[in-house]
């Protein structure tokens, strides 16, 4: 244990600084380290190199270490010499002269200092120590040895010493450590064609068992004089036939970030708006201090809409005495639903950086895991509330639905939704890449930035769910919601003006909304559950997930609910105790059945296959009815709370403390996945995947999303809404009404309540 403690203390104190020859570590300590842990280069070469290069079933073909010599020599076998090229460019390859020189210096340093020289070259040990090696738990999914990026990039070599008197050896090494994350293997289309996305034959290296797969990724450390092209040229000379170095991402500690014109444009635009926000806040405070409120009605009103002081105050205002008729439970439902969506996305995003992937089947094998696996009703909650709020708003303003009102009905919606989407897409396509760090940063940014450059306009035009192209992936929801909004005159206007005919028509539409997904499920033979077979995945996403026709039922039930709330305004609705009990029992029972009813068919066994495959009639019924059933459960929840039968449920959901976060949910929804990518993509080590880790990351993400949403609200949402009111407001005095969900004159649009009426001042 003493040797282990000394070694850990040494690594902790070292910090990988420049002149490693100045440390003065005595030979005894170094020898103890060597005897305790062995030669680190030997460990590396007999670990990951075997993993990368071994392709046959014969275990005895793997080079074995010689116990007697491996601790104090650098006598490499032919296989190990070739394996070294997985970590460093070969001096024999077509690489730059400076790179070749520094690689040879490294090899000389390591060979000379095998703990026999008086002054060992510690920097060479640290380079090898930072390499990604065959990790523990490889069979369990720890298949991405990232190495230690910071240990590598902190290396600063300036070694010009001469060692030895009889046969002097001169060192001439000047370079910094450069960390590279390497991905190589078969082309992905060939991997998928072979039906193996990563698992092959088991092999053994020393006492370590592992699995070879058709795409490998790991971290290495090399001199910064070597470019990634130098390394790729050398690496591809020894890769198995058909394999290629897909990506090599290299970074140094003090590298300069190169800004692109589009990034300057983004910062310029947002910087100018931020300047207006600060100036407007100063003017706002000055007006209040000098009590010159009449200035707010002059030209300054166009500046004051940018006031960060006023807009922030409205976001965080808490109304402890909402007016009668207010449905305060919308705040709690909105926040909890968004959190449900966020944690489900967190489970998905973290998969790309975990070290125990084989444990996922065990994580999701109990019925409570259906809270995550069967979480799609969370989005249906959004559609239900959207329908409810739109219906109430239309009923309230139906007397003013003239030609101009009908035109503004769509313009208003677009203005409220599109600018924040455009701003987040602009951010994701530009400066978001500058926020990534760590070994996986380039992997995530290389995915995010190009798709946002090419596809942002699909999100802004609300058509991304049809073309399957998107920058902000979660905005398929806003597209579907907008498409149903466009169809409102057909679905809801008859009920606005002709109650009996409209009720029959909306009821018919609701029945059809149940029938459409039922028929699509049957025609395309789509099974229920999260683990849709690969050949049915595309049909499931297009017909049953992203299509507006499959999401209509909760939206239409929301329209009915909003209509009922409007018609019963200022009326007391009474129910017997048994009616209330029955309503709650049915509502809770339906909700539990929707989320947890899939359990027998929606889990994996140890072989990553479903234990039970549902019959087609079961899939038809579930896929056709579960969204509408969820909407009916929510309908009771909202009406019970509104009519005074919510009890403790309403007290919890309507608590005033939900209000600030509730106003930020739309912005949090838009920035969430980009922030999740940045957080997970900036990890320096693999993550252990369990429920507690996901919850911890979700809490951090929730906090960062709140900050991001505040910035988005101050720079985009608040000013846009203020300008819209100034530019498009009617001249006639509107009648003051009690809002369905009390807000201030300024209303930050959110994913659930973009049409919530605002209290007039």
How confident is the model over 369-416, as pLDDT tens digits?
999 999 999 999 999 999 999 999 899 888 778 888 888 899 999 999
Token pair, residue 394, equals: 């239309």
How far is Cα 758 from Cα 746, in angstroms, rounded to an integer? 7
Degrees to nearest 5, angle at CA 162 with 158 and 166: 160
pLDDT of 28: 54
| 222 beta partners | 178
What is the torsional sign of CA 635, 638, 641, 646?
A: positive
pLDDT of 187: 60
Q: For the chain, how many residues are written?
A: 761
Helix (H, G, I), strand (E, B) or coil at 687: strand
pLDDT of 295: 86
pTM: 0.84
Q: Which residues in the chain come in under a pLDDT of 70?
A: 1-82, 112-120, 139, 162-169, 186-215, 323-325, 604-611, 730-761
| 184 beta partners | 216, 245
pLDDT of 168: 62
pLDDT of 462: 97
Instruction: Pick the closest to residue 442 from 249, 245, 227 (CA basis).
Output: 249
How far is Cα 470 from Cα 493, in angstroms, rounded to an integer? 32
Instruction: Pick the closest to residue 482 from 537, 577, 426, 418 (CA basis).
Output: 418
Beta strand 173-185 pairing with 215-223? antiparallel
| Residue 337 buriedness (CB in 10 A; 0-12 / 13-18 / 19+) | buried
Distances (CA, A) of 53 to 47, 222, 255, 341, 516: 10, 20, 32, 42, 52
pLDDT of 8: 32
pLDDT of 728: 84
Helix (H, G, I), strand (E, B) or coil at 610: strand
Token pair, residue 387, equals: 């329908």
pLDDT of 625: 96
143 alpha carbon, distance to own chain's centre: 21
How far is Cα 448 from Cα 433, in angstroms, rounded to an integer? 8
Distances (CA, A) of 624 to 217, 229, 312, 523, 587: 42, 53, 43, 12, 18
CB crowding 487-502: b at 16 or more within 10 Å, else e: ebeebbbbbbeeeeeb
CB 277 within 8 A of CB 301: no
Instruction: Pick the closest to residue 420 from 379, 501, 474 (CA basis).
Output: 474
């Amino acid at each position: 244990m003493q040797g282990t403690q000394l070694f850990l203390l040494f690594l902790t104190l070292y910090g990988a600084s420049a002149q490693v020859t100045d440390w003065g570590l005595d030979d005894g300590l170094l020898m103890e380290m060597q005897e305790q842990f062995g030669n680190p280069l030997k460990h590396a070469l007999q670990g990951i190199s075997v993993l990368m290069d071994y392709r046959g079933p014969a275990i005895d073909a793997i080079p074995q270490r010689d116990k007697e010599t491996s601790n104090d020599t650098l006598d490499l076998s032919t296989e190990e010499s070739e394996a070294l090229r997985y970590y460093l460019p070969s001096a024999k390859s077509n690489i730059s002269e400076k790179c070749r020189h520094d690689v040879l210096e490294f090899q000389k340093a390591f060979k000379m200092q095998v703990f026999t020289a008086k002054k060992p070259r510690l920097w060479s040990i640290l380079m090898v120590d930072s390499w990604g090696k065959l990790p523990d738990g490889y069979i369990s999914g720890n298949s991405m040895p990232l190495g230690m990026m910071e240990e590598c990039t902190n290396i600063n070599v300036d070694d010009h010493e001469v060692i030895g008197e009889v046969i002097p050896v001169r060192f001439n090494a000047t370079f910094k450590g450069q960390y590279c994350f390497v991905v190589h293997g078969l082309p992905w289309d060939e991997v998928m064609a072979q039906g193996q996305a990563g698992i092959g034959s088991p092999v053994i290296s020393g006492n370590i068992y592992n699995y070879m797969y058709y795409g490998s990724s790991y971290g290495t450390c090399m001199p910064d004089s070597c470019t990634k092209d130098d390394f790729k040229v050398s690496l591809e000379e020894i890769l198995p036939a058909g394999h290629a170095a897909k990506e090599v991402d290299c970074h140094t500690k003090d590298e300069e970030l190169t800004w692109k014109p589009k990034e300057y444009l983004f910062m310029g635009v947002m910087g100018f708006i931020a300047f207006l926000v600060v100036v407007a806040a100063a003017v706002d405070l000055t007006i209040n201090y000098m009590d010159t409120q009449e200035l707010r009605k002059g030209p300054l009103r166009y500046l004051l809409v940018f006031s960060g002081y006023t807009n922030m105050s409205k976001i965080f205002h808490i109304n402890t005495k909402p007016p009668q008729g207010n449905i305060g439970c919308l705040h709690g439902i909105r926040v909890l639903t968004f959190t449900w969506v966020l944690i489900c996305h967190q489970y998905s995003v973290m998969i790309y950086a975990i070290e125990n992937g084989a444990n996922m089947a065990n994580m999701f094998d109990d019925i409570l895991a259906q809270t995550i696996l069967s979480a799609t009703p969370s989005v249906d909650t959004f559609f239900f509330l959207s329908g409810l709020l739109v219906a109430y708003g239309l009923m309230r303003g139906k007397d003013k639905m003239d030609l101009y009102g009908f035109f503004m009905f769509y313009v208003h919606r677009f203005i409220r939704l599109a600018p924040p989407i455009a701003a987040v897409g602009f951010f994701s396509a530009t400066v978001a890449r500058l926020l990534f760090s760590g070994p996986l940063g380039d992997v995530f940014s290389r995915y995010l930035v190009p798709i946002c450059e090419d596809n942002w306009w699909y999100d802004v035009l609300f058509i991304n769910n049809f073309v399957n192209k998107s920058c902000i992936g979660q905005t398929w929801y806003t597209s579907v919601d907008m498409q149903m909004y466009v169809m409102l005159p057909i679905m809801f206007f008859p009920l606005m003006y002709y109650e009996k005919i409209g009720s029959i028509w909306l009821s018919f539409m609701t029945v059809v909304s149940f029938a459409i997904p039922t028929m699509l499920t049957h025609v395309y033979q789509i099974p229920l559950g999260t683990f849709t077979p690969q050949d049915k995945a595309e049909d499931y996403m297009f017909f049953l997930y992203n299509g507006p026709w499959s999401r209509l039922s909760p939206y239409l039930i929301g329209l009915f609910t909003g209509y009922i709330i409007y018609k019963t305004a200022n009326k007391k609705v009474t129910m017997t105790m048994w009616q209330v009990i029955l309503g709650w029992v049915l509502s809770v029972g339906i909700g539990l059945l929707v989320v947890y009813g899939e359990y027998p068919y929606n889990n994996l066994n140890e072989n990553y296959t479903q234990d039970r495959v549902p019959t087609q009639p079961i899939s038809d019924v579930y896929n056709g009815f579960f969204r509408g059933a969820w909407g009916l459960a929510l309908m009771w929840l909202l009406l019970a709370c509104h009519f005074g039968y919510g009890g403790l449920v309403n007290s919890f959901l309507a608590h005033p403390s939900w209000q600030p976060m509730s106003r930020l949910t739309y912005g949090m929804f838009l920035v969430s996945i980009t922030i999740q990518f940045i957080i997970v993509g900036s990890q320096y080590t693999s993550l252990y995947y369990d429920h507690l880790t996901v919850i911890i990351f979700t809490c951090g993400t929730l906090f960062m999303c709140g900050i991001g949403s505040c910035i988005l609200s101050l720079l985009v949402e608040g000013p846009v809404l203020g300008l819209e009111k100034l530019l498009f407001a009617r001249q006639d005095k509107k009648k003051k009404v009690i809002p369905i969900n009390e807000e201030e004159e300024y209303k930050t649009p959110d994913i659930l309540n973009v049409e919530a009426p605002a209290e007039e001042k």
